[in-house]
Amino acid sequence: MHQLTETGFLRIHQIVGDRKANPPIPPIIPVSRSTWWAGVKDGRYPKPIKIGPRTTVWTVEDIRELVNRIRRGESA
């Protein structure tokens, strides 16, 4: 698993990765942005937190919990 801090926030490009970034950002959850947002909408993925008009984040704790559920084979 990626080296995640104990607490903090992650933006979508940090979660699903960004191959075009320099250097490229590897995904924590290897899905497309549209799949991620569909999963957020239907409850498979954690709810986001709006911290500004154009800034949405997720807590590191929620993402770590999601990764652990996926590893255990539980539905995401």
Which residue(s) pair with 49 in the sheet?
57
State the pLDDT at residue 25.
Answer: 95
Whether 64 contacts 4, CB under 8 Å: yes
Span 8-53, pLDDT tens digits: 999 999 999 999 999 999 999 999 999 999 999 999 999 999 999 9
Query: Distance (Å, rounded) from C-alpha 52 to C-alpha 2?
Result: 26
Q: Which helix (H) or strand (E) element contains residue 41? A: helix 33-42
Which segments of the chain are extended strands (E)? 9-10, 49-52, 55-59
Rounded to whole angstroms, the Cα distance separating 44 from 26 reads 21
Enter the pTM of the model. Answer: 0.89
